[in-house]
A and B are shown apart, each in its own frame.
Chain A
């Protein structure tokens, strides 16, 4: 009798319904979730272990040095960190307004016979392999930027250091624009779902109070703010880690220049470019440390973004993230 109660008590702890199947299922799912955490931890440990040589050699200077010269054995990550963050920021600056526009149009304005095919096409964009975006960048986008956009920017905004320098169509701006095009379908698809999840009663209430369509959309946007922020984080994650398309158009030059026309370099591109032919333990170690830094940059940027979301959610108490 007592054995039975004992057994059922631990079983009840695992599964409130007291069903063995439920308990097994619960444990299985827990293991799967823990495995995911374990993989992340294992990655950090592996990256840290393999970059020990470089960490010992350069210490904190690795993060502040601008020199990357594998032949002379001097390694500094700052230009790569700058290029990664700058290109992702440019991408978000361009893609967020576009994505919001697309999502608002699809949810609030377009009739369903337009919204469905357009929504499908936008999602299709997310499925195009990044090397295809890269080729398109080299053969279509870069020439257009070189012939029309960059000269126009230079003549109208040349007083800003951002738009000075030699015009080649290849550089930070091109990388940022390619990224913007790549993250727009992701952000807009998620924002569309978020807006669709805002209850219709909110819209009706706004309209009933005499709001215009634009004012009603503002209400919906405020309600969906945490979800929208989540969508932007998702896009940012893609932009930070994107490798192939960016490396084909960014110019791959480890330098920090205020000019958006100048070539730049991202962490992911540098690893992809140099890892296969890297010889020497220190060189390999420095590349692995770049990977560790990318991991940390992603972690920190995501952390900051989540704090922002949390802040917004607390203030508005809106609908949670749909993604």
Chain B
């Protein structure tokens, strides 16, 4: 009994010491005069890039500590509105209702671009399939049921398409990827827009749901005659077969980082002042049609000047120096004219009536 009592005492002291040590260490890291810590939360899609940014930026500015939690775009917007974070992040721009109910004016700072690709599992087909927008919409509406449908064959002469049923695979979790894809389908198909619409969790007319990019990929890889959609980065890293898609100019475009930046460039002229824009089905001849921006969301009026300054510096660094890390992580960097306009947005951030840059 006395032995176990001693060991209990030992454990208690040990735990107390560990806590004391950890809290001292934390203070040592974050303490010191002029140090600032920022909290961000939101989209999962740009998380790998933002984590890279945080570690690179941390090397340059040891007095600034930034945390980013990838809890999803919806959560990011919610926390920004509740002012529990210093910045939010979302794949889709905030809706007008959300902006109105926010306690201050919210700025959208685009950071990088992503794309959604169509992947499939067709045995015996080695060359990339080509799809027009009508065919994609009809497949996901359940109107084209067989792989050898004349509408698919029309764009794929010379490909031996099997007479099998198409199994559609879509995301089951709420996702920016689904939002971009359904935004595209709503633009190219009036029937899709009316029946389904666009959003993070649409009510799919047909198909089975996989959780996450990995869930969709797993089911497409394992099930013959399936078709699904995943993020470009995910498809490249896993070497999935991807389809070429006919863009608004009538060219079949293979998804690539350059084709995504081209879509952003092509839409730059009609991008509104607040930078909230959908660039799906963009007009440029080389534009890949299923692409989108991802945004960091910040309040225009910052409450704390020191925090505001750190945030502004970080964002400025992100859209300039940070862009060099985009390509290696399979994100498309911003086109030059959008960087200029994002600069304007960042420069307009104030604290106590004073600009921070």
Q: Which single residue of chain A is at the shortest CB-CB distance from B224? A: A146
Cβ of A215 < 8 Å from any Cβ of B? no
Q: Which residues of B contact A68 (CB under 8 A)?
A: 203
- Interface-side segment among A6-14, A84-92, A103-111, A276-284: A276-284
Task: Collect the chain A residues with CB atoms within 8 Å of residue B172's CB.
Answer: 247, 252, 269, 273
Closest to A269 in B: B172
Assembled-state Cα–Cα distance A248/B203 (Å): 18
**Beta-carbon contacts of B179-210 to A below 8 Å, as 1s and 0s?**
00000000000000000111111111001111
- CB of A227 within 8 Å of the partner chain: no
> How far apart are B83's CB and chain A's nearest CB, in angstroms?
17
Asked if B228 lies at the interface with its beta carbon under 8 angstroms from chain A, I say: no
Tell which of B74, B77, B201 has the most Cβ of chain A within 10 Å.
B201
- A238 interface residue (CB < 8 Å to B): no
- Of B2-10, B25-33, B215-223, B317-325, the segment with at least 4 beta carbons within 8 Å of chain A is B215-223
Determine whether A168 belongs to the interface, using a CB cutoff of 8 Å to chain B. yes
A138, A166, A254, A273: the one contacting B219 at CB < 8 Å is A138
Of chain B, the residue at the smallest CB distance from A142 is: B222
A138 to B219, CA, bound (A): 7
Whether A263 contacts B209 by the Cβ 8 Å rule is: yes
A71 near B: Cβ within 8 Å? yes
CB nearest neighbor in A for B75 = A276
Q: Convert A12-33 into 0s and 1s, putting 1 for each residue whose CB lies closer than 8 angstroms to a CB of B.
A: 0000000000000000000000
User: Which interface residue of A69, A71, A143 has the most chain B CB atoms within 10 A?
Assistant: A71
Contact B77 A263 (CB under 8 A): no
Q: How far is B196's CA from A275's CA once the two chains are assembled, in angstroms?
A: 20
Pick the contact of B197: A72, A251, A269, A274 (CB < 8 A): A72
Q: Are A166 and B98 in contact (CB under 8 A)?
A: no
Beta-carbon contact of A277 and B215 below 8 Å: no
Q: Which A residue's beta carbon lies closest to that of B78? A: A279
Contact with B along A63-93 (1 / 0, CB 8 A): 0000111111000000000000000000000
Give residues 120-149 of A contacting B (CB, 8 Å): 135, 138-139, 142-143, 146
Flag if A273 contacts B174 (CB, 8 Å).
yes
- Is the pair B201, A274 in contact by a Cβ cutoff of 8 Å? yes
Interface: A169 (CB within 8 A)? yes
Q: Is B276 an interface residue (CB 8 A)?
A: no
Task: State the interface size on chain B (CB cutoff 8 A).
Answer: 36
Query: Is residue B167 contacting chain A, with contact meaning CB distance below 8 A?
Result: yes
What residues on A are CB-neighbors of B199 within 8 Å? 70-71
Q: Which residue of B lies closest to A263 (CB)?
A: B208
Closest to B101 in A: A281
- Please pick, from A72, A168, A276, the residue contacting B173 in the complex, using a CB distance under 8 A: A276
**Size bin of chain A's contact surface:** 20 to 34
A85 vs chain B, min Cβ distance (A): 20
Given A70-B203, A71-B202, the answer on whether A279 and B77 have CB atoms closer than 8 Å is yes
A171 contacts which chain B residues (CB < 8 A)? 208
Query: Which of B175, B204, B207, B222 touches A277 (beta carbons < 8 Å)?
Result: B175
Among B72, B197, B203, B223, the residue within 8 A (CB) of A146 is B223
Give the complex CA separation of A70 and B98 in angstroms: 16
B154 at the A/B interface (Cβ < 8 Å)? no
User: Shortest distance in angstroms between B322's beta carbon and chain A's nearest beta carbon?
Assistant: 25
Q: Among the listed B72, B95, B167, B222, which residue makes an inter-chain contact with A138, where contact means beta carbons less than 8 Å apart?
A: B222
Interface flag for A306 (CB, 8 Å): no
| Pairwise interchain contact B209-A253, C-beta atoms closer than 8 A | yes
Query: Which of B98, B165, B208, B215 is within 8 Å of A279, CB to CB?
Result: B98
Known: A166-B167, A276-B74, A279-B200. A252 touches B223 (CB 8 A): no
Note all chain A residues with C-beta closer than 8 A to B98: 279
> Are A276 and B174 in touch, CB under 8 angstroms?
yes
Chain B proximity of A171: nearest CB distance (Å): 8
Beyond A139-B218, A248-B215, A279-B98, is A274–B174 a contact (Cβ under 8 Å)? Answer: yes
Question: CA separation between A273 and B98, bound complex, in Å?
Answer: 22
Chain A residues with Cβ below 8 Å from B198 are 71
Residues from chain B with Cβ under 8 Å of A135 in the complex: 218
Q: How far is the CB of B319 from chain A (nearest CB, A)?
A: 25
A69 and B165 contact, CB distance less than 8 A: no
Q: Are B74 and A251 closer than 8 Å at their CB atoms? A: no
CB distance from A132 to the nearest CB of B (A): 13
Give every chain A residue within 8 A of B74 (Cβ-Cβ): 276-279
Kindly list chain A residues whose C-beta atoms are within 8 Å of the C-beta of B223. 142, 146, 168-170
Chain A nearest CB from B60 CB (Å) reads: 31
Is there an interface contact between B208 and A170, defined as CB atoms closer than 8 Å? Answer: yes
A263 to B72, CA, bound (A): 26
On whether the beta carbons of A277 and B73 are closer than 8 Å, the reply is: yes
Beta-carbon contact of B203 and A277 below 8 Å: no
Inter-subunit contact B209/A251 (CB<8 Å): yes
Please tell me which one of the listed residues A138, A142, A170, A277 contacts residue B200 in the complex, with CB atoms under 8 A apart: A277
Q: Determine whether the beta carbon of B203 is less than 8 Å from that of A252.
A: no
Q: Write out the residue numbers on chain B whose beta carbons fall within 8 Å of the beta carbon of A278.
A: 74, 174, 200-201
Task: Name the B residues within 8 Å of A247 (CB-CB).
Answer: 172, 211
Is B71's beta carbon under 8 Å from chain A?
Answer: yes
**Which of chain A's residues have a CB closer than 8 A to the CB of B40?**
none
Q: Which residues of B contact A71 (CB under 8 A)?
A: 196-199, 201-203
Q: How far is the CB of B225 from chain A (nearest CB, A)?
A: 9
A251 to B223, CA, bound (A): 13
Complex Cα–Cα for A272 and B204 (A): 18
Within the complex, the shortest CB–CB distance from B277 to chain A, in Å, comes to: 18
With a CB–CB cut-off of 8 A, which chain B residues contact A274? 173-174, 201
In the complex, the answer to whether A273 meets B203 with C-beta atoms within 8 Å is: no
Mask of B61-97 contacts with A, CB within 8 angstroms, 1/0? 0000000000111110110000000000000000100
26 A/B residue pairs, CB under 8 Å, sorted by A = A70-B174, A70-B199, A70-B202, A71-B199, A138-B218, A142-B222, A168-B167, A168-B223, A169-B223, A170-B219, A170-B223, A248-B211, A248-B218, A252-B210, A253-B207, A272-B173, A273-B173, A273-B201, A273-B209, A276-B72, A276-B173, A277-B73, A277-B173, A277-B174, A277-B175, A278-B74
Apart from A71-B196, A276-B174: 16 A-B pairs, beta carbons within 8 A: A68-B203, A70-B174, A70-B201, A138-B222, A166-B165, A168-B208, A169-B223, A170-B208, A251-B209, A252-B172, A253-B204, A275-B174, A276-B75, A277-B174, A277-B176, A279-B95
